[in-house]
Structure 1
């Protein structure tokens, strides 16, 4: 067990439940600490703060796991945390209309550095540091004890920037035949657990897709930007949209979006799917005088194409201004970001500034954050990263 001495200002945060150990918070350490080493944290006066593990990732150098000095970080520790998470998702396990959700959400469920998603009998573990990966056998053993499953897959994001590390993603069980078709509120999505960093659907937008389908899509023309595999377009089409247009720069988005339409029994040829830089598409749409009743704006927090670099923290306002130009009067924009660099208050500031600078009035219709399976804790607001605002645009 190694020890870390934590600076006073950071020690106060940890006492209040902040779980992340940042590099700048450490005053002094034992000799060289290896990935996965168990650590004890003390304040500058030698007061015990907690126990955790060392693991470098884009967010910090480790996580506090318990503030109880007598609690061991062992097989029972991992089993108890996973068992609690299983219990809290029992309603989702029983929901026949939804077969894909987040089962374990890192620090929100008590252990920072990894997540587990459930896809209709398959588990997908995402590891965010070599440190947490050293506990892999204990975590897999806990899964073995808690559930019957078809297979376990994994994604390693050991790169300190959180990037995916290429490897065989299969861990144990019976290899799946992909795609597997999962359900989400009755919608169908084709999912791949063995094909690179992403699976085909972002599970944190479950409630937003249902809201679009049930309350905003009927009879509307819909533009889905940064569309990935078209999940929002599927929701809109199933909700009775007159037409959807999906735009994404990645070549794979065409075949992936066609696949998602097809598994839902929808005619993809009745909709537009464009492989195109979204920034160019805005110029193209403005030139052609296109306008839409409903626009979904959910860019990555950071993206780079040949001609553009986009950062949500710096560029979201300007992107929203371009979106407003091709949204009909009384149309709705679903403004969404997964950036943890700012909170909802600042995000609403971007919305207000974009509307002011385009001479547009707006009404906020509703707001969304992470669904209940993406468990978060108040002491770590960065973990509650998703911000979604439905706003109605009124031309002055």
Structure 2
């Protein structure tokens, strides 16, 4: 096809506004290996149908179609302001904007049509969903015109709209006639947060549906897919899609009540997933092994997939099911760069980094963790993927003790992964990230082979990215190392330009 058609999530740019923030065009170019162009765009706050040119020729055609206003767009827009009983809305710009009637279309400005699409009574008052037809992509002007008509859009605080988790403006369809590729009509699904308007609302459901809508179009087409559904936008709740289970991390101080669990069931259903489980995280500092769970089934083990590898997941071991999705891109980097390397995986947990290293062709993989139980789990993950056990080590020892032994024997590694917990207890005592990370890094650097690489990572929320960089660079001074960022996270986590919870650095010997 001459054009690539996509559904843009709300909150991301169509194309990059600067070198720091990746847009949808750059993201899809990276995913497909194509050099896409984006002469047409949607504002960052707007979701919906977008079209990208695949060649210089189609880019030129798209530009000409835009100039000639020959690209038609249909939007869904939501307002919570009641429409007049007489069926009309007047405006103070009669020469530019005519009356808008509930049941019939009327021109608003140049090439813009508002008409009543559907009305629904919501739990906080009536919502009206409007269908807006236009032949340009000036969504900011569309929003201003709606405000001048007395119907500012929900979530459009800049133009007097009521507060909402997102701007309720969605491009449902884009169509045009291409001389190169023929007629193009691109329709995208209505976001859940719009289609559910008028149904009883509880708690944070609107915010959760908004989070799901932002990511659902990016889900891998795989029954065992693993993906973050809610991150920092879940209002104290995070949710991972893990194969056939939606796993909720409940960080709020109070446990979930019946209404919360009903919302969880609704979100799981909207995501098309069979089961849900909720893990309470409120007392994890007092007892890291504590498990307070709520669930829709007694399922205790299942599998998920990532980067072509499968993982055994469990609901009966600690606070996590066995796979931290925020390390997906880092694990992918290890898999791509481990060929021929001797790899040390410190604080290995269920062995994800070691698994990726072995799958990527590492000649040696040493997994080090104080928990024999999680090392046994690691062995199961390696066996699940049919990997050769002769290249593998599983050492139930303290990371510092293992590093000391390597220094004593002169053993070195080409790649060392250091992703420690923020707090842990072991036979050798207590590990606290804030106090102990610098020392661990210096010891890990001592076992790096010449030209080797140290991958350092943490999701400790008590540190900003700046503070993390200061600690890592401060621990490894002396001009012996080069520091560079790892690949950016996928879009199911923070969007480009947002502060990341997970922080990482690649440190290479000079």
In structure 2, how many angstroms separate the alpha carbons of the residues matched to 1:275 and 1:130? 34
| 8 A contact 2:268–2:274 mirrored in 1 | no
Question: 1:1-56, CA deviations, whole angstroms, 9 ceiling, x for partnerless residues?
Answer: xxxxxxxxxxxxxxxxxxxxxxxxxxxxxxxxxxxxxxxxxxxxxxxxxxxxxxxx
**Which residue of 484, 493, 508 corresponds with 1:374?**
493
In structure 2, how many angstroms separate the alpha carbons of the residues matched to 1:136 and 1:69? 27
Quick check: 384-393 or 221-230, which moved more?
384-393
Structure-2 change in CA distance of 1:366 and 1:186 (3 Å): same
Matched, 1:362 2:362: no
**Which residue of 112, 115, 131 corresponds with 2:254?**
131
Matched, 1:310 2:431: yes
Structure-2 change in CA distance of 1:301 and 1:290 (3 Å): same
| 8 A contact 1:151–1:175 mirrored in 2 | no
> Pairwise mapping of residues 280-291 of structure 1 onto structure 2 (< 5 A)?
280-291=401-412
The secondary structure found in structure 1 opposite 2:441 is helix
Match of 2:385 in 1: 264
Quick check: 71-80 or 93-102, which moved more?
71-80
Structure-2 change in CA distance of 1:227 and 1:150 (3 Å): same
**Which residue of 56, 65, 87 corresponds with 2:213?**
87
The structure whose Rg is larger is: 2
Match of 1:386 in 2: 502
Match of 1:47 in 2: none
The secondary structure found in structure 2 opposite 1:93 is coil
> Pairwise mapping of residues 147-226 of structure 1 onto structure 2 (< 5 A)?
147-159=271-283, 161=285, 163=287, 166=290, 169-172=293-296, 174-176=297-299, 178=301, 180-214=302-336, 216-226=337-347
Structure-2 change in CA distance of 1:342 and 1:101 (3 Å): same
In structure 2, how many angstroms separate the alpha carbons of the residues matched to 1:145 and 1:190? 23
Structure-2 change in CA distance of 1:347 and 1:137 (3 Å): closer
What TM-score, normalized to structure 2?
A: 0.57
| 8 A contact 2:461–2:501 mirrored in 1 | yes
Quick check: 199-208 or 148-157, which moved more?
148-157
| 8 A contact 1:367–1:387 mirrored in 2 | no
Q: How many residues get paired?
A: 319
The secondary structure found in structure 2 opposite 1:199 is coil
In structure 2, how many angstroms separate the alpha carbons of the residues matched to 1:77 and 1:206? 31
Structure-2 change in CA distance of 1:252 and 1:369 (3 Å): farther
Structure-2 change in CA distance of 1:225 and 1:127 (3 Å): same
The CA RMSD over aligned residues, in Å, is 3.0
Flag as ranges the 4+ runs of structure 1 deviating above 4 A: 67-74, 162-168, 376-379
In structure 2, how many angstroms separate the alpha carbons of the residues matched to 1:252 and 1:205? 21
Structure-2 change in CA distance of 1:369 and 1:385 (3 Å): farther
Match of 2:395 in 1: 274
Match of 2:243 in 1: 120
The secondary structure found in structure 2 opposite 1:232 is helix
| 8 A contact 1:126–1:154 mirrored in 2 | yes
In structure 2, how many angstroms separate the alpha carbons of the residues matched to 1:187 and 1:97? 13
Question: 1:274-303, CA deviations, whole angstroms, 9 ceiling, x for partnerless residues?
Answer: 010111111111111110000001111122
Displacement of 1:140 after TM fit?
2.5
The secondary structure found in structure 2 opposite 1:336 is strand
Question: 1:235-259, CA deviations, whole angstroms, 9 ceiling, x for partnerless residues?
Answer: 1111111110010011213211110
Quick check: 220-229 or 93-102, which moved more?
93-102
Structure-2 change in CA distance of 1:311 and 1:146 (3 Å): same
Displacement of 1:133 after TM fit?
1.7
Q: Which runs of 5+ in 1 are unaligned?
A: 1-66
Structure-2 change in CA distance of 1:363 and 1:130 (3 Å): closer
| 8 A contact 2:422–2:432 mirrored in 1 | yes
In structure 1, how many angstroms separate the alpha carbons of the residues matched to 2:493 and 2:366? 29
Matched, 1:229 2:350: yes
| 8 A contact 1:158–1:164 mirrored in 2 | no
Displacement of 1:75 after TM fit?
1.3
In structure 2, how many angstroms separate the alpha carbons of the residues matched to 1:336 and 1:387? 6
Displacement of 1:130 after TM fit?
4.5
| 8 A contact 1:339–1:386 mirrored in 2 | yes
The secondary structure found in structure 2 opposite 1:133 is coil
Question: 1:54-110, CA deviations, whole angstroms, 9 ceiling, x for partnerless residues?
Answer: xxxxxxxxxxxxx999669971663332222222222442443971121112xx32x
Displacement of 1:187 after TM fit?
1.3
Question: 1:328-374, CA deviations, whole angstroms, 9 ceiling, x for partnerless residues?
Answer: 11000001122222222232222332222xx4511124335654212
Q: Which runs of 5+ in 2 are unaligned?
A: 1-156, 166-199
In structure 2, how many angstroms separate the alpha carbons of the residues matched to 1:198 and 1:265? 24
- Larger % of helix: which? 1
The secondary structure found in structure 2 opposite 1:115 is strand
The secondary structure found in structure 2 opposite 1:323 is helix
Q: Which has the higher contact order (CA 8 A, sep 6+)?
A: 1
Quick check: 73-82 or 340-349, which moved more?
73-82
